[in-house]
Amino acid sequence: MPESASELVLGLGALYLLLMRRKQTETTALRSVDPYSPWAVNDGWRLNLPAQDIIRLIDGDLVVDVGVTVTEGGYSLELPTGVLAVSGRLVGEQDVAAVLGGMQINGTVTRDADELTVWLYDVSHCLQVHDFFSESNAVVASAGDLTAPMPGRVTRIMVEEGADVRRGAVLLVLEAMKMEHNIVAPSNGRVDRLKFSVGDWVDEGIALLDFSTVV
């Protein structure tokens, strides 16, 4: 059983992010040439690696790296207080019908850029979502064509054509040398055209998408 409201908040926030990621992946897969390709699966799958991931959440002064393992019917979250089994579904865009550590809980989560607001038992909790790879592996390109910094495979596409994005937003994820590299927006702008799909191999220097700056 979860021991504290903090654990529930972290669990619900992480579950929301995972469910939104799954929803986005399913949408992307429907547009893919091969929607059943494992490269279109966003559950942590990698060739010869377990289905694991890390979500970094910041709760005030506390930085929590939540280890995520995909399980049958849900996820196992490694929190500072221990392992928490979670599962659930989105109800609309913000409400989550969740099972956290065996407890059925209905909560609401909203996201604005990197700020996550978790409503639980009529109390709001603010968390920051930190991209685990952003400090060391994010690649910021100039306006125009965003190019691949090295050869690799497109593993995630986080935006759609025509989408307006903020500076620093992750546009797509490139896997190279067994590491993930986030391609992020250099400024506020618009994604004019995507040039690749999930699973495509790209060469160094090739334009990944067309991007225009919005002043």
Q: Is the pLDDT of residue 114 over 90?
A: no
In the chain the domains, ranked by start, together with CATH numbers, are 5-130 (3.30.700.30), 134-213 (2.40.50.100)
Average pLDDT over every residue of 164-193: 84
Contact in structure between 106 and 97 (CB atoms under 8 Å)? yes
Q: What angle do CA 128, 169, 98 make, to 5 degrees?
A: 45
Strand bridging mode 115-120 / 82-91: unpaired
Query: Within a 10 A sphere around the Cβ of 172, how many other Cβ atoms?
Result: 23
CA distance 92 to 87: 16
Confidence of residue 24 (pLDDT cuts 50, 70, 90): confident
Confidence of residue 148 (pLDDT cuts 50, 70, 90): confident
Query: Within a 10 A sphere around the Cβ of 211, how many other Cβ atoms?
Result: 25
The DSSP letter of residue 43 is S
Share of the chain above pLDDT 70, in %: 76
| Cβ neighbours of residue 212 closer than 8 Å, sequence gap 6 or more | 143, 144, 189, 190, 192
CA distance 121 to 8: 11
Contact in structure between 127 and 58 (CB atoms under 8 Å)? yes
Radius of gyration of the chain from Cα atoms? 18
Confidence of residue 146 (pLDDT cuts 50, 70, 90): confident
Tell the residue number behind the tokens 């992946």, with chain if given.
Answer: 25
User: Residue 130 in 3-state DSSP?
Assistant: strand
Distance of CA 100 to the CA centre of its chain: 20
Q: Is the pLDDT of residue 133 over 60?
A: no
Q: Is the pLDDT of residue 34 over 60?
A: no
Tell the residue number behind the tokens 């279109």, with chain if given.
Answer: 40
